[in-house]
Structures are given as C-alpha cells and as structure tokens.
Amino acid sequence: MNGARLTDDQRLDWLRLIRSENVGPRTFRTLVNRYGGASGALEALPDLARKSGRPSLKVTTRAEAEREMALAARLGVRFVAMGEPDYPKTLQAIDTAPPLIAVRGSGEVLARPSVAIVGSRNASAAGLTFAERLSRQLGEAGYAVVSGLARGIDTRAHKATLDTGTVAVMAGGHDRIYPAENEALLLAIIEQGGAIVSEMPMGWEPRGRDFPRRNRIVSGLSYGVVVVEAARRSGSLITARFALEQGREVFAVPGSPLDPRAEGTNDLIRDGATLCASVEHVTSVLEPLIAAGPRTDDGIEEGRPGEETEELWDELDLPDIARPPVGLVKPEGGFFEEEAESHPVIESRPVAGDRALIALLGPSPIAVDDLVRQSGLPIRVVQTALLELELVGRLERHGGNAVSLLPAPEA
C-alpha cells in the first residue's frame, strides 16, 4: 500500500467490483490480490463464475458504477479507497475493512483519533446525560466521536460533539437516512465539520442485517468503543464484540442491576471491559495507544503483479465473526452475515474438478495448509477452487486462514 490515490478508472473498477454479486470486503481483497487489481479481477470474474457453475453471476457494469458515482456526487459524497491517504488508518487495519467508503462532509475529522459512543435507543435520562457529558469531554480532549445516528445514545453523542467533530456511520445508502427524523442532525453534522460514512450503495434501504454490518465500521474507525447503556443481546454489544475482534478497547458504563438497560454493560465489565465512569477512564487507556499509532495493514495491492499473490493470500487471517471471542458475551445468533446473506442465495453447481476438495471440506474449519496437504493438489489449484466456492456462497472463512464448507442451498 503506497498511500497513492487511485486513478478515476481504478476507482470506477473498485466500485464495479465491490458492487458485484457475492463480492464483499474479503472476497474483494482475495480477488484483487489474485488478479493484480480490480481491473484484472473484473476481467476474470465471468470466467471464474462460469467455471464455478454460476454463469449468471451479476458483475456490475461500468455504466451502473458511473450512475452511482453521479448520484453520490450530487449529494457531495465521494468514494475513498482503502490505501488512499484519506482512508482512516484505524479502519484500514481491520480484516473486513470496506474497500471503498462513501464519505460526505469533512475529511479532516476522519483523520483524528476517534472514540465510538454507542448505546440503547430507549436510553434512561441518566444514560443520556452521561453520554452527553462523556461525548463533550472526549470532544474537548481532541477526539472525534463516532456513532450510528440512531435514536437515544447515538443521537445524544452526535449532538454533544457537533462543534468538536463527530462521525455518523450509516447502515444504508447516503440518500436513505435512517431514522428519517435525524435528517436535520445529519445536515448539522456536515455543516459543522463532521462526516457521514457508508459502505452501502446509493439508494440502499437499510435492513435489519445491515446494522450489525455497519457496527463493525463504527468500531473499526475508533481506538475504543464506549457502551453507555445496553440491554442483553442488543446491537451495542455487537459493536463491542467487533471492537474486541478488531483489537480495540471496550469500555462499558456501569448501572444498577435493577435496570435492564445496564445488563449488557455490567456483563461487559464482568467479561473484562474497562469500567467507564469518567472521561479519564477512557483517555488514560487510549492515550498510549494513540501515541503508538494504529496497526498498519496493507492487504490490497492494486496494480501489483500477480507474482506475490500466493504470499498475500497466505497473509490473510480472517476472523470467524460468527463465533464468540474468548471472554466476551455471545449475542444470540449470527449477526454479520456477509455476501452470502446480502445477496439472494444462489444455486451451487461446483465443477467436477472440485469434488475431491469438497469431500475434504465440511462444517468444521480446516486450515488451508492442511487442505493442500490432504488433497495433494498444488496450492494454486486449491486456492482457485476455494475462491470459486466462495463466489457461489459455499465457503466460510475463519481465523488462522481456515475455511469450512457451507451447506448447499435447497434446489
């Protein structure tokens, strides 16, 4: 990652690739590294799709991407690619960093050290008051405050930091503000030097599963996440879990055991989150981390020759985000289903050559290295087969470069 900007053509290719069917952040990364760039990946996609028995896999056309760019420009939204100087370094360090983020508002605020403040939509007066106070104090201490534009704690956090700098991450497209009542707040954020971020296409109406997906960006942008009030199994706990997986600090504000809105935060504290009762409890932890700077990650190599593909592929260590990390609560059910869920389930017809490999795979994760050893196939053949399985939604990637087979959809 050289920190150079993409050309307009490259940016358009990136948008086409990330908007294509069954391509999410991780597949994007795999494809670009495999084919030396988005352009090469786009060229290879139809053939890859055919070989994987999916000739109808939808590749976004140049015209469609240009149309989205034009819609975005009309709202003052620009696309910033991973690796570009404006792309937030903290976000870039996460495994599922969006290849492109659509940004509206100030770029400056995205370059500042950030803290996320999240919590209940139906927060208590005490929770709202504390969120407001803490946000303001963090803003005064020089932090950008990140949240999700939701009702309750999120709204209070944004409002308290309008004049110091705040970042709202949306679960839908920039032209689909949710909740609608927060449109005025969104405009105030932009006017007063804040920023709005989304990875979703223009026109995308946010659905239930988009909110947890969005939450990984809230935590990914931030050095730490403060959960102010959270019931058990609430979205804020998902953000906390992402933060933990991303190696970010988790802070939780305690509350009375009689208040259901404190159950999630008290659980977090019991599970090792830092108890936050004052701004110093946050800043004293984050200051040394900020001084050390974000962990850097250069997972995408636009325009590099494919010779390094093997090495790059092996570098990937994809977390199994459907599995609870050690020492943190497990929200019920999976909540971040990537490509396989955000697009209609497609029929799986793997080519005959992959049968042996499929037979070796199952629901239990296995390291790719072990798969190569057990199959006796060349690593490049195994990797291509895995990529094809991934494109048809049959492959799940786990931490430690392990993979497992997803069940074939009913015919």
Least CB distance to a second copy at residue 113 (A): 23
Which two three-digit tokens encode residue 384? Answer: 């291509």
- Residue among 195 and 262 whose Cβ is closer to a second copy: 262
Instruction: Measure the CA–CA gap between 245 and 138, rounded to whole angstroms.
Output: 23
Residue 372 burial (C-beta neighbours within 10 Å; 0-12, 13-18, 19+): middle
Least CB distance to a second copy at residue 244 (A): 18
Element (H, E) at 79: strand 77-81
* Alpha-carbon distances of 317 from 85, 91, 398, rounded to whole Å: 24, 16, 8
- Residue among 7 and 278 whose Cβ is closer to a second copy: 278
Least CB distance to a second copy at residue 277 (A): 4
Least CB distance to a second copy at residue 105 (A): 31
- Residue among 91 and 134 whose Cβ is closer to a second copy: 134
- Residue among 126 and 188 whose Cβ is closer to a second copy: 126
Task: Write phi, then psi, for 198 (nearest 5 degrees).
Answer: -150, 150
Residue 396, SS3 per DSSP: strand
Residue 4, SS3 per DSSP: coil
Instruction: Measure the CA–CA gap between 270 and 144, rounded to whole angstroms.
Output: 28
Q: Which residues bind a second copy (CB under 8 A)?
A: 126-127, 129-130, 253-259, 262-263, 266, 269-270, 274-278, 281
Least CB distance to a second copy at residue 341 (A): 34
* Alpha-carbon distances of 216 from 47, 84, 151, rounded to whole Å: 32, 20, 19
Residue with the two structure tokens 């909110």: 211
- Residue among 260 and 324 whose Cβ is closer to a second copy: 260
Q: Which residues contact 258 (CB under 8 A, 6 or more apart)?
A: none
- Residue among 257 and 407 whose Cβ is closer to a second copy: 257
Instruction: Measure the CA–CA gap between 247 and 57, rounded to whole angstroms.
Output: 35
Least CB distance to a second copy at residue 133 (A): 8
Q: How many other C-beta atoms are found inside a 10 Å radius of the C-beta of residue 30?
A: 26
Least CB distance to a second copy at residue 330 (A): 18
Least CB distance to a second copy at residue 254 (A): 3
Q: Give, as one character, the DSSP assignment of residue 155.
A: H
Residue 55, SS3 per DSSP: coil
- Residue among 61 and 278 whose Cβ is closer to a second copy: 278
- Residue among 254 and 293 whose Cβ is closer to a second copy: 254
